[in-house]
Each structure stands twice: as structure tokens, then as C-alpha cells.
Structure 1
């Protein structure tokens, strides 16, 4: 039988509180060290309220705002991959480069999906079929 990791917590309310603190630390680190996260956050701060205002119902509001939140989530994951790759080595390595490129591609796809979502929700109002 394998031993549990000494780095994993056992659970309970203290674990939830610590996880919340670690999450805030992660957001802070992304804000301090990742220009793309700051740019996307600035855009989300503008567009999320706009999406909440433009949405006709709860589903449209969720689609417009949620897609923007998912861009930020994807950027956080991409930044974590990049930080881990850089911690392993800053020398060029094809697998580390591939990992970074794949993370970047995930952000791009989420941005394209977000744009398509906004178009699908809002375009029929200006160009009815």
C-alpha cells in the first residue's frame, strides 16, 4: 500500500479555508506576473457588466459572462503550465515548448468560443433573420 502524500491535507473546514487562501494567492501571482491575465481581466471587468446588461434572460447573461470567466480560467491554467515549464528548465526543450504552445492554443480556442458566443447571442438583435 502506498503512503498518502505528506503534502495533501486531510480535509474539513480548515482545508477549505486554506484552499481559499491558496486560490487568492494564485490570483495574486497571476495578476503580478502575467500580463495576459491582467489584460484579459481588464477586458472582463468591462465586458462582464455589459454582458449582464445586454442579456435578455438568465441564460443569455450566463453565456455572455460565463464565457469571459472561462477565458480567465484557461489563462490561469496556461500560466500554471508555463510557470511549471520554466521551473523545470528555461532552456529550449521541445516537450516544454509543446506544453506551452498547447496551453496557448487552449486560451485561443476559448477566446474564439467566447467571441462566437457573444455573436450568437447578440447578432440576432441587430440582424434578425
Structure 2
């Protein structure tokens, strides 16, 4: 909730705390997010090792970071839809499906970047 009385560093610190609460709740409640975090823990060091140039390393790592970012947005959309009502509704299902498609595309994007950068090195 917006609080116009909190400004400057206090606002930044509070915003950081809210962000950490969001990470914590998503990690606790969303299996997909937990899987993506563990994949990051394994793949980020691998991307840093396999990339030959700073640009390659950045592309490998950043393509991975997009996946949990999109998953956080997907989880937020799902939570909002569920908050409105648990009954089946075409628009609710569409919103969840579209958010899920965004997660799929982020994973496909990361896979494409890794493939385009690494497969030519092994051929």
C-alpha cells in the first residue's frame, strides 16, 4: 500500500523488505519458482564458465534471470485471479494461460540463447 509519508532511504528500505517478502512467499508457495531458483544456482556458474567473452557470459546469465522474473509476474497474476474468485471463468482461465505462456516463452528464449551460443562451439 502506498504511504506518501515515507520517502527517501526509508522508502527504499521498506520497498526492499516488501520485495524480500515477495521472494519468500513465492519460493514457499510456488513449486515452479523453487525449481527455477535451483536451476539458476546450478546454471549461472556454468554460464559464467562456458561464456568466452563478457558479452557471452552476460547473455547466458541474463537469459536465465528472465525466467524467474516472468515466473514472479505469473504467480502475481495467478494470485490476483484466485483472489477475485475461485469459480471457473473464461477470462480467469485465459489470464492464467497467457501468463503461463509467458513463462514458457522465457524458458524457450533462454534455451535458444544457450543453444545459439554453445552448440556451434561443440560442432
**TM-score range, shorter-chain basis?**
over 0.9
Q: How many residue pairs end up in the alignment?
A: 121
Shift of 1:9: 3.2
The corresponding residue for 2:2 is 8
- When normalised by structure 1's length, the TM-score is 0.91
Tell me the distance in 2 between the aligned counterparts of 1:78 and 1:67.
Answer: 17
Q: What is the alpha-carbon distance in structure 1 between the residues aligned to residue 3 and residue 57 of structure 2?
A: 37
Give 1:54's aligned residue: 50
5+ residue gaps, structure 1:
1-6
Paired residue for 2:31, among 35, 41, 46?
35
| Structure with greater helix percent | 2
Match of 1:88 among 66, 84, 90: 84
Q: Is residue 16 of structure 2 the alignment partner of residue 20 of structure 1?
A: yes
Q: Which has the larger radius of gyration?
A: 1
User: Which residue pairs with 2:67 in the alignment?
Assistant: 71
